[in-house]
């Protein structure tokens, strides 16, 4: 308490002591502000700087892709709708995305590639590989300004490694999410009825619109193309998948060069696993044989639906047991186009061996995304 006595101010001793130490407290507070942060805080700040740098380096290589939906209006072109993401592959204007992002866009038609959420360029379809859910488009624009993504490798990845996804979820351009490698060597079904082997599973948030964008390692290198999520709601549930870089590196050059990739097969359609189980068959049940194919020339017999009678059931190819479309596809790829494979077949209760030529079932021609049953 302060009190006035004989014209002077009396300051109690305790208050006076407080005033005396205030300069010391001020100096201590100032020094605390300029002093180095604790080691843990410094580490966090360094990690944040690395993530910011990673994003700033990789984001310019990621585009949003819009595709035509619906008919053109009077006096105007078709309406475009955001469909997914893409990655700048090279300085010639090639952009890699998912085949399903370009659903309904055929050869000769165009999509739009949107950079920075603002700059919009028309892009034509160069090639599609639905069996790998990969496609390539090429922009008609200032290709010299493009920044190709830095490519890495999925080889040597380990569960638990940090990964990042950049894309355009729900049309929100260049969104970054972080997660880990949750599992490796997953088998990823595609719309073409085949499977991509070696798919990367991650818990990084992947939502509609992320498809076709890059999955990056901790150094910002692309190690895969984000392609699918497992979710009952259609939104991220922490289970996303990416086509591994080794598959991308194998498929994309062929799409750029030829607009297609070879597809080994013999020309048969086989039953789904559950249908084969209902029929009591232990193998790949042949339900259709395409005319003028190696399967037809080898005499393979399809299921007789009129009489509900089994035809041929393929048990093995070159000694390897098969049951599903992916099993057959893998076997034909191993045998190789231009070579001959030996089919172990059961017909009317008797086993026999048939020699069948392996051919390319994806001949040159218009690129039309396949639907319906797959024909290996």
Token pair for residue 353? 């061996």
Give the sign of the dihedral formed by CA 46, CA 51, CA 55, CA 58.
Answer: positive
Catalytic residue among 64, 85, 133, 329, which?
Answer: 133
Say whether 329 sits in a helix, a strand or coil.
helix
For the chain, the structural domain boundaries read: 7-33, 162-258, 264-360
Please identify which of the residues 61, 110, 211, 236 carries the catalytic annotation.
Answer: 211
Does 135 have pLDDT greater than 70? yes
Nearest to 356 by CA among 300, 273, 287, 279: 300
**Residues of the chain above pLDDT 70, percent:** 74
Gap between the Cα atoms of 321 and 314, Å rounded: 9
Assess whether 133 carries a catalytic annotation.
yes
What is Dmax (Cα atoms) for the chain? 126
Superfamily of domain 264-360: PDZ domain (2.30.42.10)
Which of 100, 173, 182, 217 is catalytic? The answer is 100
Phi-psi region of 42 (alpha: psi -120 to 50; beta: other; left: phi over 0): alpha
pLDDT at position 358? 94
d(CA 363, CA 264): 11
Tell me what the pLDDT averaged over the chain comes to.
79
Instruction: Find where tokens 């999925």 sit.
Output: 154
* Residue 109: count of CB within 10 angstroms of its CB: 13
Residue 108 has pLDDT above 60, yes or no: no
- The CATH topology of domain 162-258 is Thrombin, subunit H (2.40.10)
Q: How far is CA 118 from CA 172, 177, 213, 344, in A?
A: 12, 21, 18, 58
State the Cα angle at 223 between 218 and 115, rounded to 5°.
Answer: 90
Q: How far apart are the C-alpha atoms of 267 and 245, rounded to whole Å?
A: 29
Tell me the pLDDT band of 70, cut-offs 50, 70 and 90: low
Q: Are 182 and 194 in contact (CB under 8 A)?
A: no
Check residue 10 and give its pLDDT.
53
Task: Report CA-CA distances (Å) from 156 to 32, 49, 129, 151, 153.
Answer: 45, 26, 26, 15, 8
Report whether 191 contacts 133 (CB < 8 A).
yes
**Rounded distance between C-alpha atoms, residue 128 and residue 190, angstroms:** 13
For residues 11-20, average pLDDT: 52
Is residue 94 annotated as a catalytic residue, yes or no?
Answer: no
Q: Where are the alpha helices (DSSP H) in 282-355?
A: 294-297, 325-335
CA dist., res. 340 & res. 352, Å (int): 16
Q: What is the pLDDT of residue 31?
A: 54
Q: Where is pLDDT greater, at 300 or 236?
A: 300
């Amino acid at each position: 308490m302060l009190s006035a006595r004989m014209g002077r101010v009396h300051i109690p001793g305790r208050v006076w002591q407080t005033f005396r130490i205030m300069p010391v407290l001020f100096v201590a507070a100032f020094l605390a502000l300029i002093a180095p942060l604790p080691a843990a805080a410094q580490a966090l700040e360094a990690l944040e700087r690395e993530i910011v740098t990673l994003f700033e380096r990789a984001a310019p290589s990621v585009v949003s892709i819009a595709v035509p939906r619906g008919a053109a209006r009077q006096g105007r072109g078709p309406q475009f709708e955001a469909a997914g993401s893409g990655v700048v592959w090279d300085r010639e204007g090639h952009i890699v995305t998912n085949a399903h992002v370009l659903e309904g866009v055929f050869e000769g038609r165009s999509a739009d590639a949107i950079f920075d959420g603002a700059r919009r360029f028309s892009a034509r379809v160069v090639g599609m590989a639905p069996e790998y859910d990969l496609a390539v488009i090429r922009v008609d624009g200032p290709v010299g300004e493009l920044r190709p993504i830095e490519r890495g490798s999925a080889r040597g990845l380990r569960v638990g490694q940090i990964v990042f996804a950049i894309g355009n979820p729900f049309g929100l351009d260049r969104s970054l999410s972080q997660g880990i490698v949750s599992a490796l060597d997953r088998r990823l079904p595609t719309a073409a009825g085949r499977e991509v082997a070696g798919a990367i599973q991650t818990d990084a948030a992947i939502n509609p619109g992320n498809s076709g964008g890059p999955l990056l390692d901790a150094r910002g290198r692309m190690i895969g193309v984000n392609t699918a999520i497992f979710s009952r709601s259609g939104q991220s549930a922490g289970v996303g998948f990416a086509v591994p870089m080794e598959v991308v590196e194998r498929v994309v050059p062929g799409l750029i060069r030829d607009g297609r990739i070879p597809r080994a097969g013999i020309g048969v359609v086989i039953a789904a696993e559950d249908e084969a189980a209902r029929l009591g068959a232990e193998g790949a049940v042949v339900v259709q044989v395409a005319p003028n194919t190696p399967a037809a020339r080898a005499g393979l017999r399809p299921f007789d639906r009129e009489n509900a009678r089994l035809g041929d059931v393929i048990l093995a190819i070159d000694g390897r047991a098969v049951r599903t479309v992916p099993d057959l596809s893998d076997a034909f790829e191993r045998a190789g186009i231009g070579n001959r494979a030996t089919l172990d077949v059961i017909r009317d209760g008797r086993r026999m061996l048939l020699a069948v030529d392996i051919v390319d079932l994806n001949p040159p021609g218009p690129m039309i995304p396949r639907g319906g049953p797959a024909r290996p």
